[in-house]
Amino acid sequence: MPQVIIQVIGEAHDQKAAVLAVRERLDRCYSGRDCRWNLFYRPRQERANCATRYHLVYPALAYFIQLKKEPDLAAILRPKLDTIYRGLLDPRTWRYWHDELHETTWPLQERNLTFAGRLATFVGFYIDAFGAPPAGRSPPRRRSPESVRSPHRRGAGGRTRSRPFAASECR
């Protein structure tokens, strides 16, 4: 459990007060149309464990758990979950696939089961909670390999090469 949450829970006198204290901290990040990115930890590498996308998926999971326990919070938590969804679609949460890993494929298309799985899980929980997928933006369209600038994936003549699938990879 992150140290800041342990600290907040330790300062609270009961579990309900602890949940409210954590929610107040999270509210600052997700109250509004867009995420307040300046309040997020900025990792050196987005492919790392403390990457920006985790500041979205784990609070969302906590909100979904809270909704299961207290459905009357839907009006309060749904706008925050909408903001988190928009954050998951923001390029800063998936560009690492191209910028740091130098992949030429679209991260929802192949090999990035972590990002695709978390996005699909978020949408599934959202549908379970509200009966419909998040409104508004759809995931960005697949980018063509030619639009990804990566010196590590260039073949002869500057054309983009694609890696063949290993037999164990999912499609």
What residue spans define the domains of the chain?
40-140
Give pTM, 2 decimals: 0.68
Block means of pLDDT (10 residues each) for the chain, 171 residues, are: 54 73 86 87 67 85 91 94 91 82 78 83 94 76 48 41 35 32
Helix (H) or strand (E) holding 6: helix 3-11
Task: Supply 44's token pair.
Answer: 């050196």
- Dig out the tokens for 34 from the structure: 């867009």
User: What angle, rounded to 10 degrees, do the helices at 3-11 and 15-30 form?
Assistant: 130
The pLDDT of residue 148: 45
Task: Determine the pLDDT at residue 50.
Answer: 64
Distance CA 64, CA 84 (A): 12
H/E segment holding residue 125: helix 113-130
pLDDT at residue number 73: 93
Q: What is the pLDDT of residue 97?
A: 81
Residue 32 pLDDT: 86
- pLDDT for position 46: 67
Closest CA to 94 of 119, 120, 115, 118: 115
Dihedral angle of Cα 145, 151, 152, 157, to the nearest 10 degrees: 70
At 141 the pLDDT is: 59
For residue 162, what pLDDT is reported? 41
Confidence at residue 80, expressed as pLDDT on a 0 to 100 scale: 93
Q: Residue 158 has what pLDDT?
A: 42
